[in-house]
Every structure is written in structure tokens, then in C-alpha cells.
Chain A
Amino acid sequence: MMPFAEIVREALSSQAAAKQRTILALIGIVIGIGSVIALVTVGQMVQLTSLQQFQQMGTNIITVQRGWGDKGGGNAKQQGPSQHMTWGDAEDLKANVSGLEMVAPYTSTWGQPLYTDRPLDMPVMGVTRSFADINKLEVLKGRFISDLDGYSFFGVLGAGAAQKLAKLGVADPVGKTVFFKKRGFKIVGVLKRTAEGGMRPYEINPGMMIPVRTSYLFKRERNVNEIMARLAPNADRHLVIKAVKRYFKQRHPGMLTQVRSAEQLIAEMAKQSQLFTLLLGAIGSISLLVGGIGVMNVMLVAVTERRKEIGIRRALGAEQIDIQAQFLVESVILCLAGGLIGIALGVGAAYVLSKVNGWIFFVSGWGLALGVGVSSAIGVFFGYFPARQASRLNPILALRDE
């Protein structure tokens, strides 16, 4: 039998000879591998990016919200507004549930903040000092809300909110006044931009934070939107979550309480991205199947076109296995070339997406190996039949072919 290096050399030169057809055959493989690589890479980047956000905040955070299931909704209607988490619930929570180190309830207040007479379209949250600790907020200028602020009309702007004011010509908002509900709020601080996602409320960057007591001046009920809490070191997450649920069940029988932990969210995300990857894998597989059939077609045409060559090689002493290996290697090289181009395009697309969306750019070696492996496998699978056909040609008939 012919040495393997020779087979590869022959295959390369045959491919180079049939450039146009080669390129056409490659398109399916390029698209298939390219999309799989791009999508898998994007999935991994999104996961990594959100994981990092969690890590920044710490994974020992839980959030407590009123659930919105049928039961909670129905009871809320029946029993009225008392079926909400209240400021009192939050204040007593730490004393009643062991294993909580810090509790940060926050409120949302509807309304349109104004600078002079310009609408700012920013959410307004009532927060405590602990909100900054739990969310790891960093102050760029001035200070955060303090628990000593009481009912004062102070506001702290998120990075996005500050940018909005900057567009209105306010370079340094600290000391300026933003009007909300016909009251003037003196801006006492501006935050650095925080990474979005994870457990952080989305309102931080675009919003204005005011003392939680002040926010109650505009509300009939002293409700809270969500309670964020940090677990004490060594606290058992499952026990704490159970205790929190029990605590709310006692205070609001019939209200559904939803407790979420960072770890739980991460697990959910992993599950989601798994599903996503599976789905995209299926789409990629279909394009690869189509591409593979294209390659098979090209190889069948090549076998027909090169009957004479096959006959000559057989006359000079090539065994069937030599001919089969030659066409199989050609098919694999074809698919591998398509795969490599696809990988390059897929990684390129993922890079562009990561830059546009601010994800961490990351390409896993596992994904690349998969791309290379899958494209070679397609070459073998779809090249096998044409190669076998080539090897079984009758040398005399093949030689006689013009």
C-alpha cells in the first residue's frame, strides 16, 4: 500500500486542481461549522460573563420577592394590600432568621424625575446604606445614601443617569437638584458603572437612589419591592432559604414567597444555556448534513470525472485500498478546509458580538477541537461511499474512459 504522506500529497494537489468546485462544496461546511462555532462560543461567553458578575457580587446573596403564582395572586386580591412584603418584614427579618449577615430592602417609586423642566426618564429606588454593600456599588463622586439621611431629599445617580445629565450640559451633577414628585432632590453622589446581570437590580445604572424613608413619603403602603440579603459565612444556604420562607409564611399566610440564591440562578442559567447549545447544535447539524451531502456529491462527480486517472493508477499497481484512501483523504481535506474556514468565521462573528455586547471574549479549545473533529468526521462519513465506488471501478473500463 501507498504511504500515507503520499496519499495526502496527492489529495492536496487534486483539490488545488479543482478550485472552483472545491470552493462551492466548501460553502455548506463553512456555514455549518461556522454557525456552530459562533453559537457555541457566544453561549460560553454569555455564561462566563454572567458568572463573573455573580463572582463580583459574591455567590452568597439571596433575594426575596413576593411570588406571582396563582395562589399568591388570588390571595392578594382577597386579602388586599397587606399581602405584600413590607418594611417591617425586612426590618425584623435579620432578627428572626439566623444566618443572615446583612439585609437590604429596596423600593421602586413611579414617576418622572425632571432636571429643570427636562424629563429624565429614570427609575427611582428607595435604598438603605446596606444596598451599596450587598451590590458592591462604588462611588465615583460624593457619597452614597446613608442611614442617617432619614427623610431627607437626597439622591445618588447611577452611571447611566449621570450620563443623561451630562447630555443636558451638567458635567458634575453633585450639588445639583433633580425634581421628583414636585420635590427637589439634591444630588449627593454619583456611582461608577456596575456590571449588569446576575442578582443586581437593573435600575442601578440608569436610576436615582433616594433614602428609603423618603420614598415612603410618596407611597400609601410601606411595601418593599425586593429584599436582598447576604448570608453569614458558613451559613447553610438551604436552611436559610427554608427559614426565610417559613418566616414569611408566618407573617403572611397565603402569600407566595420566592427566594432565589445566586447559586440557584447560576444553575438555572447553566441549564438554559445547555438547552440553547443543544438547539443551536441541532441547527448546525442540519447545515452540516446538507454540507456533507454537497461534499458527497462533489466527490461522486470527482470519481466520475477521474475514472481515467483511477484506471491509470490501477494499471500501475494501485490496490483498491490505495484508490479508496486517496478519495477518502481528499474528502476529509475538503471538509477540514471548510471546517477551518468555518471556525475562523465563527470565532470572528463571536468576537464582533462580544465587542458589541460587552461580553468577555473567550474561545474554548474544546469548541475548536469539536469543529475540527466534526468536519473530519463528515469528510470520512460522506467520502466513504464515493471512495468505495472509485476503488471498485473495473480498471479496464476505467482506462478506456475518455
Chain B
Amino acid sequence: MILVMNIIELKGITKTYHIGDMAVDVLKGVDLSVETGELLAIMGESGGGKSTLMNIIGFLDSPSGGAYHFEDQDASHLTDNQLAHIRNQKIGFVFQQFNLLPRLSALDNVSLPLVYRGVERSQRTEIASEMLKRVGMADRMTHRPPELSGGQQQRVAIARALSGKPTIILADEPTGALDSQVSQEIMEIFLKLNQDQKITTVMVTHDPKVGQQCRRTVRMSDGRLAEV
């Protein structure tokens, strides 16, 4: 299919948090389109609403106002189960702190999204080991996260994000906890996945070196987005 469509279409998205009597407007009308196969970096200072935006895009949170279309379908008002279902089927998360379950082996961590999809164990193992190979962790499958370095853990986390064959990968400061050399290795994985497999990726970062390598960059500031 050569058809290029917008996976994500945000129009006037607002998010207001209520802390006691105080209302805090974190997002003040965000417009954003993400096309299939894009590699987008969202940059900006901390506290600018980047993570909130990522949570809304990733169906972990719902917007207070505005319209969210995901794959051309209105996704503004969904039930908790529907949100869980979309997260499981469509989204691959990569977090700054890796967020692997320390008790599980790398293989089981990568399998976890498939567990909630009801995929059989043998098939899960097959997919998970394939994903671990893809991020260069074929020789560490039975290791548990505490036995792995930060860079290795992030590779496992990327494999986990890939295992569900998601529509989009959302990476929130994926290199934020890594030194610059390892950061570059992780960045290359994202670039390679995007180039070779056309995996759509949205990445939040405050690191300009990371931002520069993405094909498109937007800047978030005071609850609004601007193209760079």
C-alpha cells in the first residue's frame, strides 16, 4: 500500500488537571498529525506538557477537550477496556526508565504484551526471541533486567514494544537515562527500525543530538506545539 495516511490526528487537544481548587492547563490546544512511517521528535523543556501529550497519544490518558483521531477513528471517548485494548494492539511504549518487570527474564518481558492478547506460549516465545534478535539481544534472552546494563535493558524494552507489531512506537525520553555513547546505539536502533521496517515512531526528547536525527521535529512550549 502506497497510501499515506495520518495515523494520528490531534485537533485542539486540551488537558486540564485539577489540584484541589486549582485548575492547571497543561495542554492548551495541541494540533498534530503523524503520518505512517514518520519519525517524529517532540522537543521542549521539562514541564511543558510533553509527557502528558504522549500519555494521551498512547491512550494512557484521555484529553479534556479537542478531537483525537487514531487511524481515522474518533478516539476521544473510549472506555477503560477499549483503551487497554488499543494500547495492547496498536501502541508500543518505550520509557525512560525502561520499565521492565525485574522478576521476569528478557524473553518473558518481551512476551508480556502477547500474554494479554491471549497468544499461546510457544508462539509468544518464538515472536519474542525474534524481536530480541532484532535489537541485538539474542544472547541475553534468559537474563533478568537487574543482570543487564541500562543500554541492554532499553534494547529489551524496544523489543517488547515491537513484539505486539504495533501501529506506532511511542518513546518517552528513551535515551534520558543512558550515557551519550549508549544513547547513540539506542538511537540507531530506532533509526534502523524506521528506515528498514517503516515503523512509525514518536519520540519525546530534550536531547538536541537525538532530535537532529529525527526527520521531523516539533517543539512543545507552554502547552502548545510548534513545528521546528
Task: List A residues at the B interface (Cβ < 8 Å).
Answer: 1-3, 6, 13-14, 17, 308-309, 311-320, 322, 395-396, 399
Q: Does B209 contact A (CB under 8 A)?
A: no
A315 touches B60 (CB 8 A): yes
With contact pairs A309-B101, A396-B55 given, residues A316 and B60 touching in the complex (Cβ less than 8 Å): no
With contact pairs A312-B101, A318-B84, A399-B99 given, residues A3 and B93 touching in the complex (Cβ less than 8 Å): no
- The minimal Cβ–Cβ distance linking A264 to chain B, given in whole angstroms, is 63
A317 touches B103 (CB 8 A): no
Stretch at the interface among B108-116, B131-139, B215-223: B108-116
Q: How far is the CA of A3 from the CA of B121 in the complex (A)?
A: 11
Q: Does B50 contact A (CB under 8 A)?
A: no
Q: Does B89 contact A (CB under 8 A)?
A: yes
- Chain B's closest residue to A1 (CB) is B118
With contact pairs A315-B87, A316-B87, A316-B93 given, residues A6 and B115 touching in the complex (Cβ less than 8 Å): yes
B116 touches A316 (CB 8 A): yes
B55 touches A316 (CB 8 A): no
Q: Does B117 contact A (CB under 8 A)?
A: yes
Contacts of B192 in A (CB 8 A): none
- The minimal Cβ–Cβ distance linking A354 to chain B, given in whole angstroms, is 44
Q: How far is the CA of A311 from the CA of B61 in the complex (A)?
A: 12
Q: Can you list 17 A-B contacts (CB < 8 A)?
A: A3-B118, A13-B103, A14-B103, A312-B99, A313-B116, A314-B60, A316-B112, A316-B113, A317-B85, A317-B88, A317-B113, A317-B164, A318-B84, A319-B84, A319-B85, A322-B116, A399-B99
A320 touches B118 (CB 8 A): no
Q: How far is the CA of A319 from the CA of B55 in the complex (A)?
A: 17
- The minimal Cβ–Cβ distance linking B157 to chain A, given in whole angstroms, is 10
Q: How far is the CA of A317 from the CA of B87 in the complex (A)?
A: 5
B103 touches A316 (CB 8 A): no
User: 1/0 contact trace for B94-133 toward A, CB 8 Å?
Assistant: 0100011101100000001101111000000000000000
Q: A312-B99, A317-B164, A399-B60 are in contact. List 20 more A-B contacts (CB 8 A).
A: A2-B115, A6-B115, A13-B104, A14-B103, A309-B101, A311-B99, A312-B101, A313-B112, A314-B60, A315-B60, A315-B87, A316-B93, A316-B164, A317-B85, A318-B88, A318-B116, A319-B81, A322-B116, A395-B60, A396-B55
Contacts of A314 in B (CB 8 A): 60, 84, 87
- The minimal Cβ–Cβ distance linking A155 to chain B, given in whole angstroms, is 78
With contact pairs A2-B118, A3-B118, A399-B99 given, residues A316 and B88 touching in the complex (Cβ less than 8 Å): yes
Q: Does B80 contact A (CB under 8 A)?
A: yes
Q: How far is the CA of A399 from the CA of B51 in the complex (A)?
A: 12
Q: How far is the CA of A81 from the CA of B80 in the complex (A)?
A: 90
Contacts of B93 in A (CB 8 A): 315-316
For chains A and B in complex, what number of residue pairs have CB atoms within 8 angstroms?
62
- Chain B's closest residue to A308 (CB) is B99
Contacts of A1 in B (CB 8 A): 118
Contacts of A313 in B (CB 8 A): 112, 116
Q: How far is the CA of A34 from the CA of B196 in the complex (A)?
A: 63
- The minimal Cβ–Cβ distance linking A45 to chain B, given in whole angstroms, is 44
Q: How far is the CA of A322 from the CA of B89 in the complex (A)?
A: 16
Q: How far is the CA of A27 from the CA of B27 in the complex (A)?
A: 52
Q: Is the interface of A mostly helix, strand, loop or mixed?
A: helix
B60 touches A317 (CB 8 A): no
Closest 7 CB pairs of A and B: A317-B88, A317-B116, A319-B84, A316-B113, A317-B87, A312-B99, A318-B116
- Chain B's closest residue to A312 (CB) is B99
Interface residues of B in 66-103 (CB under 8 A from A): 80-81, 84-85, 87-89, 93, 95, 99-101, 103
Q: Does B160 contact A (CB under 8 A)?
A: yes
A320 touches B81 (CB 8 A): yes
- The minimal Cβ–Cβ distance linking B168 to chain A, given in whole angstroms, is 14
Contacts of B88 in A (CB 8 A): 316-318
User: 1/0 contact trace for B22-50 toward A, CB 8 Å?
Assistant: 00000000000000000000000000000
Contacts of B89 in A (CB 8 A): 317
- Chain A's closest residue to B112 (CB) is A316
- The minimal Cβ–Cβ distance linking A166 to chain B, given in whole angstroms, is 67
Contacts of B99 in A (CB 8 A): 308, 311-312, 315, 399
Q: How far is the CA of A205 from the CA of B8 in the complex (A)?
A: 94
With contact pairs A6-B115, A315-B60, A315-B93 given, residues A320 and B80 touching in the complex (Cβ less than 8 Å): yes
Q: How far is the CA of A317 from the CA of B58 in the complex (A)?
A: 11
B101 touches A317 (CB 8 A): no
Contacts of B87 in A (CB 8 A): 314-317
Q: How far is the CA of A395 from the CA of B103 in the complex (A)?
A: 20
Question: Which of A315, A395, A396, A399 neighbours the largest number of chain B CB atoms within 10 Å of its CB?
Answer: A315
Q: How far is the CA of A395 from the CA of B61 in the complex (A)?
A: 8
From the candidates A6, A316, A318, A396, name the one contacting B160 in the complex (CB within 8 A): A316
With contact pairs A17-B103, A316-B88 given, residues A396 and B61 touching in the complex (Cβ less than 8 Å): yes
- Chain B's closest residue to A319 (CB) is B84
- The minimal Cβ–Cβ distance linking A15 to chain B, given in whole angstroms, is 11
Q: How far is the CA of A315 from the CA of B166 in the complex (A)?
A: 13
Contacts of B117 in A (CB 8 A): 317
Q: How far is the CA of A2 from the CA of B118 in the complex (A)?
A: 6
Q: How far is the CA of A308 from the CA of B98 in the complex (A)?
A: 12
